[in-house]
Each structure stands twice: as structure tokens, then as C-alpha cells.
Chain A
Amino acid sequence: AQKITQTQPGMFVQEKEAVTLDCTYDTSDPSYGLFWYKQPSSGEMIFLIYQGSYDQQNATEGRYSLNFQKARKSANLVISASQLGDSAMYFCAMREGRNQGGKLIFGQGTELSVKP
């Protein structure tokens, strides 16, 4: 079963507008972490934001915020005031529990294109 699901293969957004990238996850482990990474065409993976399963508040990092809805098992990334440089692939990832060796499981990714 897919543990991390990103249902939007591609998204378009107008420059300066906000965009939400969807991510749902599946785990029975009460302790887990959720990550978002950005991958531009150069290939490097850039860490954006992290949300722990026990965190009470939604994570925010500058223009990035994570809309964490635990009961729905969703961890959507919100990018405010989109910039042309935001055009890239975005991956949601999950790390389960303390006994899983810390490995990340990635979703399929969403390709975001920011229009001028």
C-alpha cells in the first residue's frame, strides 16, 4: 500500500499567488515525521519544512507552511506569494517511528510551475 500519496502530478500557479500541494500518508505508528523537499531541475533536494506527529502547531518556515490535519492523515504544503524560482518538483516524505532506521519514504512528487 502506498504510504505517501501526492495526487497532483502537476500544478500551475500565478506569480505572487498562494498554492497548496497535497500530501496524504498512511501509518499505524503513533510517532512519525513529515517532510517536504523541493527538487529544482539541477537535481538537488532542498529541505523545506518538517512536522512531527506530536507537534501541536502547524510548522511554518518563511513562505512555507504545513497544513497538518492528523485525523485526516494529510500534510499539505502551502506556498504563499509564489515566485518564479519556486518552479520545481516538490516531494512529501514520511519517516516512521524510532525503529525504522530513520529512512524516508517519498511520495510521487508534484511538479509546480509558476507563471509570470
Chain B
Amino acid sequence: GAVVSQHPSWVICKSGTSVKIECRSLDFQATTMFWYRQFPKQSLMLMATSNEGSKATYEQGVEKDKFLINHASLTLSTLTVTSAHPEDSSFYICSARGYRGPEQFFGPGTRLTVL
């Protein structure tokens, strides 16, 4: 299957700092990338959908100015958590979809801890 990577796999930061998470499709071109957030023992919550070269579409209730998403190329999308606070601590997972097939391929996730 297709491979999606995420970097970093975990990050600890101080409150008020910004954190950037990268999502890359390694062996296919991703027409669309998705960012999810997951709290412990809960389901995945879609935050936003991004298409290469266009603005991301955010789900209701997700702050656009806090969670900046950039989809600069067909293989790279980034999520920047700006001015992070402890309540932003979570597991962030990206997924990517290519031109063929129905599958969405997920990255391994990034665990963010804000102190």
C-alpha cells in the first residue's frame, strides 16, 4: 500500500509556542490530504481537508487561525498549531488520498504535548 509519513512523531512544547507538523505522501501524489485530531480512547475528529494549491476547508468549530494548514505540493501538507496551549495536547493524524482507488492512507500520527 501507499506510504504516508509524519514528522515529528512526538513533540513537547511550552505554552504559547507554535508547532509545525509535516505530512508527506512518499510514493504517490496526494490530491487531497486530511488532518484529524484524536483524544485518548476517542474517535478521530476531522479538522480540515486540504487540496494542493488551494485553501484548506475547515470543519465546523475548528479555528482556522489556530490550526494553519498549508498544502504546498502534491506530496506535502503541513499543520501549524499556533500559540499552543495545554488543551491543544492531542494526537494529530494526517491522511492522504491519491488519484486512484477509494482508500485513504494514514500517517503514523504526531503526539503533541503542550506544557
Contact = CB atoms under 8 A, between A and B. Distances in A.
A108 B43 CA distance: 5
Interface residues of B, number: 22
Nearest to B31: A102
A66 to B, nearest CB: 13
A30 to B, nearest CB: 16
Contacts, number: 57
Contact of B108 (A33, A44, A107): A44
A47 B32 contact: no
Given A43-B109, A44-B108, A45-B106, A102 B97 contact: yes
A95 B109 contact: no
A40 to B, nearest CB: 11
Contacts of B111: 43
Interface of B: 1, 32, 34, 42-46, 49, 57, 91, 93, 95, 97, 102-106, 108-109, 111
